[in-house]
Amino acid sequence: MTARLNRARGEHSWHRLFWWTFAALAACASGVSHAQSSVTLYGVIDAGVEYVTNIGPQKSSSVHIPSLTASLPSLWGLRGNEDLGGGLNAVFVLESGFAPAQGSLNQGGRLFGRQAYVGLSGQWGKVTLGRQYSQIFWAVLTGDTLAPNIYAAADLDPYLTQPRVDNAITYTFTSSGLTAAATYSFGRDAVGSAPAGGCAGQSPTNWRACKSMSAMLKYDAGKWGVAAAIDRNYGGGGTGSPLPLSSQTDTRALIDGYVKFDNATFGAGFQHRINHGEQTPTIFDATSNYWWIGGSYLPLPDIALDAQFGRITVSNKDAGGSVIAARAMYFLSKATAVYVTAGHVFNQRNASFSIDGGVPPPTSTPLPGVNQTGALVGIRHLF
């Protein structure tokens, strides 16, 4: 009798807990029934066949399909927004980069290696946490009319097309065309390549190791725009990394802009870099100045022509170079286009810049002082 009574009491308690839980969930659901949320799937798939000259010691040529980028990098992502009421919104982005030729993941094989963040936004601005772009990336978009095309002035500083940082917090404020933003990373990731600023991640013992900080101020008036940014990476990656010690820094300061005239857009920019690395005489351990100028023109609504020239000088290293690149694109629809693009890099005696921005180095890297040409025919689709 006592056992049956205890069992009955237990069943009654379980049912009561179930209904309390159900009631709580129902109350929560009714409380947010007026909130609106949306999730958007988006992406790019872009592939082509590329020809590159003067690769490696044998100065060989190669025909292949690039994996990192073509006219655009291939990617897919999810972007979400929920209206929390009172002007407050929850936001998130999950973005994955992939190589269409192999179906494999880029960014070190991570599922969401391009971006992965969540945050809140309101009239006061937006705060986000996770893997995010450095602010210098958003500044470059203002005046760079060709990158992330596989051939572009950005081949002279590959960091500018991929400055992502893990463990980051970002604040952004936008009003009437003016944007102010800042990003702080508690530790850059170890998966990134040396040109991408790879490091050892967060350190529990060294507060400066692998930290990153950047800030941007931008104004966009529609017909013209200008942006300025500063980006600093701290070392601490250890032997073999560009910045072995946490006391070493790599700092870039950039200003660029654009102007539109009818169907033509012109862009230009300048970057000053101070790198305190302890490496061999290359771009990674010196003061450098980098500038570019380019333009885009639409002679017809379904045809786009782009061209760009860039040059980098490295102090006392004879390790600078120049790039000239062009692209012609035909739009089959709003989502699909075919194109042909080509580029040529001129290397100084100690420089080994590659024109091929579509493969990880040193796959297509030339010998120091050797020039290189690339050409690609491709197709891209946006969804």
Domains and CATH numbers, the chain: 40-382 (2.40.160.10)
Strands (DSSP E) contained in 123-200 are 125-133, 164-175, 178-185
Name the pLDDT band for 136 (thresholds 50, 70, 90): very high
Question: What's the alpha-carbon Rg for the chain, to the nearest Å?
Answer: 25
Share of the chain above pLDDT 90, in %: 79
Q: Of 295, 309, 296, which is closest to residue 344 (Cα–Cα)?
A: 309
Place of tokens 């040193």: 362
The structure tokens 């570019």 sit at 292
Residues 170-188 have pLDDT tens digits of 999 999 999 999 999 999 8
pLDDT at 194: 56
Mean pLDDT across 63-68: 97
C-alpha closest to that of 141 among 176, 188, 181: 181
Residue 189: pLDDT over 90 = no
| Cα–Cα distances in angstroms (integers) from residue 116 to residues 8, 79, 96, 112, 220, in the given order | 49, 10, 9, 6, 26
Per-residue pLDDT, 276 = 85
Comparing 165 with 35, the larger pLDDT belongs to 165
Closest to 190 (Cα-Cα) out of 160, 166, 157: 166
For 58, other C-beta atoms within 10 Å of its C-beta total: 8
pLDDT at 96: 98
pLDDT of residue 195: 55
Spatial distance between the Cα atoms of 201 and 110, rounded to a whole number of angstroms: 15
Structure-token pair, residue 267: 């862009």
pLDDT of residue 14: 37
Per DSSP, what are the bridge partners of residue 214? Answer: 183, 231
Can you tell me the mean pLDDT for 196-216? Answer: 88
CA 72 – CA 74 distance, rounded (Å): 6
Give, for 14, the enclosing helix (H) or strand (E): helix 2-31
Residue 113 banded pLDDT, cuts 50, 70, 90:
very high
357: CB partners within 8 A, 6+ apart: 68, 69, 148, 149, 150, 151, 152, 154, 155, 158, 161
What is the enclosing helix (H) or strand (E) of 219? Answer: strand 212-220
Q: Which amino acid is at 347?
A: N
| pLDDT at position 5 over 90 | no
> How many C-beta atoms surround the C-beta of residue 262 within 10 A?
7
Q: Considering only the C-alpha atoms of the chain, give the largest distance between any 2 of them, rounded to a whole number of Å.
A: 96
Quick one: pLDDT at residue 199?
87
- pTM of the shown model: 0.86
| 290 contacts 273 by C-beta, under 8 angstroms | yes
Across the range 216-238, mean pLDDT stands at 95
What are the pLDDT digits (tens) for 286-323? 799 999 999 999 999 999 999 999 999 998 778 999 99
Q: What angle do CA 346, 348, 349 make, to 5 degrees?
A: 135
Percent of the chain scored above 70 by pLDDT?
87
